[in-house]
Amino acid sequence: MTREPYGQRRDDDRSAVRRPASIKDVAAAAGVSPTTVSHVLSGNRPVNEQTAARVRSVVNRLGYVPASLARSLQAGSTSVIGLLIPDISNAFFAELAKGAEDAAHDLGYGLILCNTEFDAEREDRYLGMIRSRFVDGMVYASGSAPSRRRLEALMGKFPIALADEEVDGLERALIATADHEAGGRLVGEHLRELGHRRVLMLTGPRGLRSGVARATGFVRAFGGHVVERVGDFKEASGHRLVAKLLEEGGLDCTAVFAANDLMAFGALAALTEAGLSVPGDISVVGFDDIRAASQINPPLTTVHQPAYDVGRTATAQLLQYVSRGEVPPASRHTLPVTLKVRGSTAPAAR
Amino acid sequence: MTREPYGQRRDDDRSAVRRPASIKDVAAAAGVSPTTVSHVLSGNRPVNEQTAARVRSVVNRLGYVPASLARSLQAGSTSVIGLLIPDISNAFFAELAKGAEDAAHDLGYGLILCNTEFDAEREDRYLGMIRSRFVDGMVYASGSAPSRRRLEALMGKFPIALADEEVDGLERALIATADHEAGGRLVGEHLRELGHRRVLMLTGPRGLRSGVARATGFVRAFGGHVVERVGDFKEASGHRLVAKLLEEGGLDCTAVFAANDLMAFGALAALTEAGLSVPGDISVVGFDDIRAASQINPPLTTVHQPAYDVGRTATAQLLQYVSRGEVPPASRHTLPVTLKVRGSTAPAAR
DNA sequence: TTGTACGCGTTATCAG
DNA sequence: CTGATAACGCGTACAA
């Protein structure tokens, strides 16, 4: 096993320890002061062309690269932000992450992926990164009911933008979400027009504003009877809830409206396994419009959420202020959703 | 618009600028030295309980949190690594990222998401993070043909692990990949057993070792005639290549073997649009086994790659050495793949 | 055009 | 049990 630490041998020091060249090493080798080296590289002030050339040559020879850490310390910011999400393998959050990464990259920021797996402890640890100022800001798209207190305290002191999910009591914040209420409304109208009168609504965890908004929009537009069951956004929970109702013989509905596509997939599977036909016997509607939604059989009718734009907008908002060192004012972006009518919905069975 | 910079007011300084409390502030307010404050918090050496209590009280009052940046500067490492991938919205890389994030989190490391969109310039910028030592290491899963020279130079000096993809000329490295050759072999055997004799093979970009390995395994096990077309791993390219061959009337094959599931989806769509039945007229096989593969119609026969494990293994390998400050020795992990036989393959049409 | 000196916030070392 | 000091590597105000 090789045991040498990383780094490069200093030209002027044959000690046993290799370490990366510092600005001092360059200065010494070029016969100038560190200040001059700094200015040659930054262009922040004019340097004699001969001197500059000599410095550059030494920089190349030693392979000197300024330590961004030291620069950050002195500058008071790291040009890195965090993106806190529950599950990167969920296509919705992957799209959101892509939007966030694009926006960050555009402004020269790095993005730390904070994947919480819905784990509060893990979320806490990641939030510590903003308190210890390792990140300049945080895009919070937890997806699970966040601890209001903690978040509230943090939002007063650090730049945090909310993506995809609002948080009760934090109205004065940077927020980018899809129009969940409109999404619910679109589904409600669609099912009503198809003649459905009794619908099973599978929700996500309680306490999510987006869920409330969706339900509100849906119930109001639908007007019929709504049976509600609480799940956790995972495919398994959609399957479990529907299977249980079927066993108990209590699924007297003609349609299922799931909180997201994954749960809709689970419901679909449970219905099919029970010998029911979708949409012949029962219609199914999802939410998110992840890629698989259009590819499953039957193709899923669902609400398209602009996941990429939600991530991009939240991040761009955040950085607009972070990059100026200002406290962001409240600012809410509600992005439009659309209903994708596919093969999983049909007129209500008589 | 609020214009106050972030931070907290110092208790002992009523200057106009709010800034976070530093260890000096705490020390002054508690009447001890910064050294003592440091040790109270780290527990690195015993501190008189009375003194410690006083310090802790001040820490709470001022809301002091150690600046991780300064700690990193002094420690010489940031406890953050980078994950360089082409596209986080590709389910394969999302899974890989999840594995990498889990492994990093387990060892107390953060993970910077470097999404390149197959863009060389963007990749370069991200690789700069390791040269400037903002990250302690990098997991490289580019997926596109990387610039060998650049990577080679970097790998000699910095801890880099290769995930999912080997790189020619870099045998002596940390590598975790799926067994692509075995994957190709499994597909070859499967199609041969089904009686196929002419297969269209859609590959990814040239110059990828994984592609060569797959093709080698496939061709050897299959034994029949293989027509090859080069794509770029995207759904559109699968569609385009197949559609073009169909137009030209040159698709005299009974099966298509795509380089990944996305391209297989594209091929599937093109075939269906041309009125061909899958697998009745022609069989289709993918690679990766992303979630949508089992949900598409017909369900896709494909090679399951352990994306999560590839990410997790590569990262764990990297960190095992990074965390000790050692140069990693060469070490290759080849993870097993399995063939998922689903509805998109059938005996060759006569 | 260039250099000196200091601060950023922390921890290790060495001395009491 | 505690403190003073140096060092990490950089940028820059100030001085020459």
**Inter-residue contact A304 to A193 (CB < 8 Å):** no
**Inter-residue contact B99 to B308 (CB < 8 Å):** yes
Task: Using CA coordinates, name the residue in chain A closest to B74.
Answer: A70
Residue B16 touches chain A, beta carbons under 8 Å:
no
The percent of residues above 90 in pLDDT, for chain A, comes to 76
pLDDT single digits (tens) A299-319: 999 999 999 999 999 999 999
- Residues with pLDDT less than 70, chain B: 1-18, 143-147, 350
pLDDT of residue B143: 63
pLDDT single digits (tens) A282-302: 999 999 998 889 888 899 999
Side-chain half-sphere CA neighbours of A159 within 13 A: 33
Residue nearest to nucleotide C13 (CA to C1'): B35
pLDDT of residue B326: 72
Angle of CA points A60, A65, A70, to nearest 5°: 155
The answer to whether residue A17 scores a pLDDT higher than 60 is: no
Does at least one atom of strand C sit less than 7 Å from the CB of A35?
A: yes
Range A327-343 average pLDDT: 91
Q: What is the rounded distance in angstroms from the CA atom of residue A343 to the CA atom of residue B92?
A: 27
In strand D, the nucleotides that come within 7 Å of a protein beta carbon are 1-5, 7-13
Angle of CA points B34, B36, B40, to nearest 5°: 120
Q: What is the rounded distance in angstroms from the CA atom of residue A252 to the CA atom of residue A339?
A: 25
Residue A51 touches chain B, beta carbons under 8 Å:
no
Residue A74 touches chain B, beta carbons under 8 Å:
no
Stronger pLDDT, A196 or A143, i.e. the higher one:
A196
Which nucleotide has the shortest C1'-to-CA distance from B65?
Answer: C9
The answer to whether residue A11 scores a pLDDT higher than 60 is: no
- Helix pair angle (B49-62, B23-30), 10° resolution: 120
Structural domains of chain A, ranges and CATH numbers in brackets: 23-66 (1.10.260.40), 78-178+307-335 (3.40.50.2300), 180-305 (3.40.50.2300)
The answer to whether residue A335 scores a pLDDT higher than 70 is: yes
Residue A122 touches chain B, beta carbons under 8 Å:
yes
Locate B197 and state its tokens.
């004799």
Distance in Å, residue A156 CA to nucleotide D4 C1': 37
**Inter-residue contact A298 to A278 (CB < 8 Å):** yes
Which chain A residues are within 8 Å of B80, Cβ to Cβ?
112, 134
pLDDT of residue B150: 81
pLDDT of residue B176: 95
pLDDT of residue B144: 64
A225 to chain B, closest Cα gap in Å: 31
Q: Is A232 helix (H, G, I), strand (E, B) or coil?
A: coil
pLDDT of residue A9: 36
Which chain A residues are within 8 Å of B159, Cβ to Cβ?
6
- B111 and A113 in contact by Cβ < 8 A? yes
**Inter-residue contact A287 to A214 (CB < 8 Å):** yes
Residue nearest to nucleotide D7 (CA to C1'): B74
Does at least one atom of strand C sit less than 7 Å from the CB of B100?
A: no
| A and B: number of Cβ contacts within 8 A | 170
**CA of residue B118 relative to chain centroid, distance:** 13
Of A188-202, A326-340, B82-96, the range with the lowest mean pLDDT is A326-340
Does at least one atom of strand C sit less than 7 Å from the CB of A68?
A: no
Task: Using CA coordinates, name the residue in chain A closest to B76.
Answer: A69
- A69 and B67 in contact by Cβ < 8 A? no
Stronger pLDDT, A347 or A154, i.e. the higher one:
A347
The answer to whether residue A45 scores a pLDDT higher than 70 is: yes
Which chain B residues are within 8 Å of A72, Cβ to Cβ?
69, 134
pLDDT of residue A274: 93
> Of A6, A256, A49, which Cα lies nearest the Cα of B323?
A6
Kindly list the distances between the CA atom of residue A297 and the CA atoms of A277, B97, B280, in Å, as whole numbers in the listed order.
11, 28, 18
A168 to chain B, closest Cα gap in Å: 22
DSSP state of B298: S
Q: DSSP secondary structure string, A192-238?
A: HHTT--EEEEEE-STT-HHHHHHHHHHHHHH-SEEEEEE--SSHHHH
Contacts of B86 (CB under 8 A, 6+ apart): B93, B115, B116, B117, B118, B141, B142, B143, B144
Compute, in degrees rounded to 10, the torsion defined by CA atoms B294, A234, B94, A134: 180
CB atoms within 10 A of CB B312: 24
B 269-298 near A (Cβ less than 8 A): 291-292, 295-297
**Inter-residue contact A188 to A217 (CB < 8 Å):** yes
- A89 and B88 in contact by Cβ < 8 A? no
pLDDT single digits (tens) A105-139: 999 999 999 999 989 899 999 999 999 999 999 99
A213 to chain B, closest Cα gap in Å: 27
Residue A94 touches chain B, beta carbons under 8 Å:
yes
Stronger pLDDT, A349 or B331, i.e. the higher one:
B331
CB atoms within 10 A of CB B42: 10
pLDDT band of A145, cuts 50, 70, 90: low
pLDDT of residue A1: 29
pLDDT of residue A269: 93
Residue A111 is nearest to which of B89, B94, B113, comparing CB atoms?
A: B113
Range A68-87 average pLDDT: 95
Locate B120 and state its tokens.
């060389």
Residue A330 touches chain B, beta carbons under 8 Å:
no
pTM, whole model, 2 decimals? 0.90
Range A162-170 average pLDDT: 83
Q: Is B76 helix (H, G, I), strand (E, B) or coil?
A: coil
Which residues lie near nucleic chain D, judged by CB under 7 A?
A: A 19-20, 22-24, 34-35, 38-39, 41-42, 44, 64, 66-67, 70-71, 73-75; B 31-36, 39, 45-48, 50-52, 70, 73-74, 76
